[in-house]
Amino acid sequence: MTAIAANPYDYQLPTESKIALVIIDMQRDFLEYGGFGDALGNDVTQLQSIVPTVKKLLETFRSLNLPVIHTIEAHSPDLSDCPPSKLNRGQGNPKIGDQGTMGRILIVGEDGNNIIPELTPLENEIVIIKPGKGAFCRTNLEEILQKEEITHLLFTGVTTEVCVQTTMREANDRGYECLLIEDGTASYFPKFKQSTIEMLRAQGGIIGWTANSDAVLAALVPQAIAIA
């Protein structure tokens, strides 16, 4: 069995079941001006640095014919899937559903809700539209993972301490073997990213593992050669 050099110890890749790359919310709403992240007062440039790494991982998974799961945080145009607690949280103005420079903020189908062009999903890739921070909340993600016999999830995306961490915790509780790719995730607050990495892998990997993308790629590519 191949292993990824990870923290707090090696992460074993499965031989019988499948591994998937999960790319959380790499949508314009979070990475560009005029979206939800910007509306909340965040510096969106913090998130842009991981794009080349996520792209490289995406291309590797595609070349190995391994499953890729993209998520998008989005609400229906009538906001019926957005609880008042989420809509009214903070004192943000504009807020979810308001008109931004890329269309209505965090609304499905609007320009700002699209995944950034560098990471546009292919037809055969899974795209989970999620109304919450976690990708298992009010979605069919668990059903899809079971059907596809996916047991191991490698996480990338934004933001580390919000949607990425929430989803990784949800997945861990459901029995998935989770690894966070450290240089494939970002936060508007670098210290929150670092804390998240440390807390997820503490206590012997209480939520899962963390590793650098180089370690992930080094483990995956020889396996592909072996399969071929």
How many angstroms separate the CA atoms of 81 and 95, rounded?
15
Active-site option among 82, 163, 178, 193:
163
How many angstroms separate the CA atoms of 193 and 51, rounded?
16
Is 23 a binder of ligand TIU (CB under 6 A)?
no
How many angstroms separate the CA atoms of 222 and 204, rounded?
27
Name the segment binding ligand TIU (CB under 6 A); options: 44-52, 82-90, 154-162, 215-223: 154-162
Footprint (CB under 6 A) of ligand TIU, residues 63-92? 73
* Selected binder of ligand TIU within 13, 23, 25, 46 (CB under 6 A): 25
Footprint (CB under 6 A) of ligand TIU, residues 99-118? none
163 is known as an active-site residue: yes
Is 38 a binder of ligand TIU (CB under 6 A)?
no
Size of the site for ligand TIU (CB under 6 A): 11
130 is known as an active-site residue: yes
124: left (phi over 0), alpha (psi -120 to 50) or beta: alpha
**Of 74, 52, 94, which is closest to residue 135 (Cα–Cα)?**
74
Are the C-beta atoms of residues 19 and 215 closer than 8 Å to each other?
no
The site for ligand TIU (CB under 6 A) is made up of: 25, 30, 37, 40, 73, 133, 158-159, 162-163, 188
